């Protein structure tokens, strides 16, 4: 997969909505990584495509030193604000393909909600360079559960209808074959349930945090929001709707350079 979309810049005007409304990761993720990746508190972690810091925070809470590698200045700044209370957070201006990290300096790599933006061949080479021997690579996504409820079906239908390039950039385009090619072999997959509850304004913010939704000024922006309001009214209970996810955790070790 060779991403042709500018993943490093396309979230710049959506940072506030991203911080406000994107889901965090369940606490159970760290339990999975202790079991499947040998996670310990003394591991040095590189969070690649760390964005606003959501994927770095669980490791900081675990006591790890975390290098958050993020090319987007606005998102990197948001992470620096969110994680300012953690002295072991290191903010790094870099990309998956060129992290700027020293050779053999990292014990574990994680990429949360980011791997589908990477050039996978160049990223594999860079990860092998910065990882200490046999270090695990962890990929995590919060995946919307399209068929979970009538609300989720309606919300996904809205994304397909109004998304500017939803089908092209959605992370579910990354299939098992691509992951096997990246790891150079097999990997472990684990899943956890996750959810958010939104009022009307929160749901709007969640929608607008997605890079493929039409921004203000686009001819489909207002029609999209009207349809979202209709979906909310039809599905809300007690003034809220429930967004359902499966948190997918992939753990493997890079076997070869392609």
Provide the token pair at 56: 């770095």
For the cut 60, the answer to whether the pLDDT of residue 249 exceeds it is yes
* C-alpha to C-alpha distance for 128 and 30, rounded to whole angstroms: 23
CATH assignment of 12-145+169-195+244-252, among 3.10.450.50, 3.40.50.150, 3.40.109.10, 3.30.70.580: 3.40.50.150
Percent of the chain with pLDDT over 90: 80
In this structure, the number of other CB atoms found within 10 A of the CB of residue 13 comes to: 13
- Give me the mean pLDDT over the 159-183 stretch: 82
CB 129 within 8 A of CB 102: no
Model-level pTM?
A: 0.90
Q: Any idea which of 2-16, 24-38, 63-77, 203-217 has the lowest mean pLDDT?
A: 2-16
Q: Any idea which of 50-59, 63-72, 211-220, 226-235 has the lowest mean pLDDT?
A: 211-220
* C-alpha to C-alpha distance for 92 and 50, rounded to whole angstroms: 9
3-state DSSP call for residue 49?
A: coil
Confidence of residue 5 (pLDDT cuts 50, 70, 90): very low
* C-alpha to C-alpha distance for 21 and 24, rounded to whole angstroms: 9
Phi, psi of 114 (to 5 degrees): -140, -25
Q: What is the pLDDT of residues 42-75, one digit of tens each?
A: 999 999 999 999 999 999 999 999 999 999 999 9
Provide the token pair at 9: 């810049």
Q: Any idea which of 6-15, 33-42, 57-66, 144-153 has the lowest mean pLDDT?
A: 6-15
Q: In the sheet that 65-69 helps form, which strands lie side by side, from edge to edge?
A: 89-92, 65-69, 44-48, 108-112, 137-144, 241-252, 188-198
């Amino acid at each position: 997969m060779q991403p042709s979309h500018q993943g490093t810049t396309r979230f710049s005007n959506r940072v506030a909505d991203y911080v406000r409304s994107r889901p965090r990761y369940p606490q159970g993720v760290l339990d999975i990584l202790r079991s499947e990746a040998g996670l310990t508190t003394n591991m040095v972690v590189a969070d690649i495509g760390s964005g606003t810091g959501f994927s770095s925070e669980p490791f900081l809470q675990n006591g790890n030193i975390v290098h958050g590698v993020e090319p987007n200045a606005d998102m990197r700044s948001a992470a620096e604000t969110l994680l300012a209370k953690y002295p072991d957070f290191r903010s790094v201006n870099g990309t998956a393909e060129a992290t700027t990290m020293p050779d053999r300096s990292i014990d574990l790599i994680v990429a949360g909600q980011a791997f589908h933006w990477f050039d996978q061949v160049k990223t594999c080479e860079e990860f092998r360079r910065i990882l200490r021997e046999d270090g695990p690579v962890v990929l995590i996504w919060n995946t919307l559960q399209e068929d979970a409820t009538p609300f989720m079906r309606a919300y996904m239908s809205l994304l397909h209808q109004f998304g500017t390039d939803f089908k092209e950039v959605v992370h579910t385009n990354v299939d098992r074959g691509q992951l096997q090619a990246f790891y150079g072999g097999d990997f472990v997959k684990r899943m956890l349930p996750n959810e958010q509850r939104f009022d009307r304004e929160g749901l709007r913010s969640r929608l607008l945090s997605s890079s493929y939704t039409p921004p203000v000024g686009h001819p489909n922006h207002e029609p999209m929001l009207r349809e979202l309001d209709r979906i909310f009214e039809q599905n809300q209970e007690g003034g809220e709707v429930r967004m359902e996810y499966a948190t997918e955790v992939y753990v493997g070790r890079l076997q070869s350079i392609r």
